[in-house]
Amino acid sequence: MTVKIYTTPTCPWCKKVKEFFKENNIEYEEIDVASNQEAQKEMIDKSGQMSVPVIDIDGEIIVGYDVEKLKKALNIGA
């Protein structure tokens, strides 16, 4: 499974998602879109949103800190 998270350095919800990944031992790649215009465009194209965090789990796109959707996409039991 490939997990990517698009973030900005000062975004509280990005931090929450990363904490969630750590608690559940999920390996992830973080992409800071504040300093990377190309990644920013990629994120907006993928999600249709100008808002962070955007999470890409094997191509499934989740916007924001949504625990239920994250659990489902990662197959984590309730």
Residues that bind another protein (CB under 8 A): 8-16, 33-35, 37, 40, 44, 48-52, 63
**Among the listed residues 34, 77, 39, the one whose alpha carbon sits nearest the alpha carbon of residue 56:** 39
Q: How far is the CB of 68 from another protein (least distance, A)?
A: 13
**Nearest approach, Cβ of residue 34 and another protein (Å):** 3
Sole residue written with tokens 């955007």: 54
- Least separation in angstroms between residue 77's CB and another protein is 17
Rounded to whole angstroms, how far apart are CA atoms 56 and 54?
Answer: 7
Nearer to another protein, 2 or 35 (CB): 35
DSSP 45: H
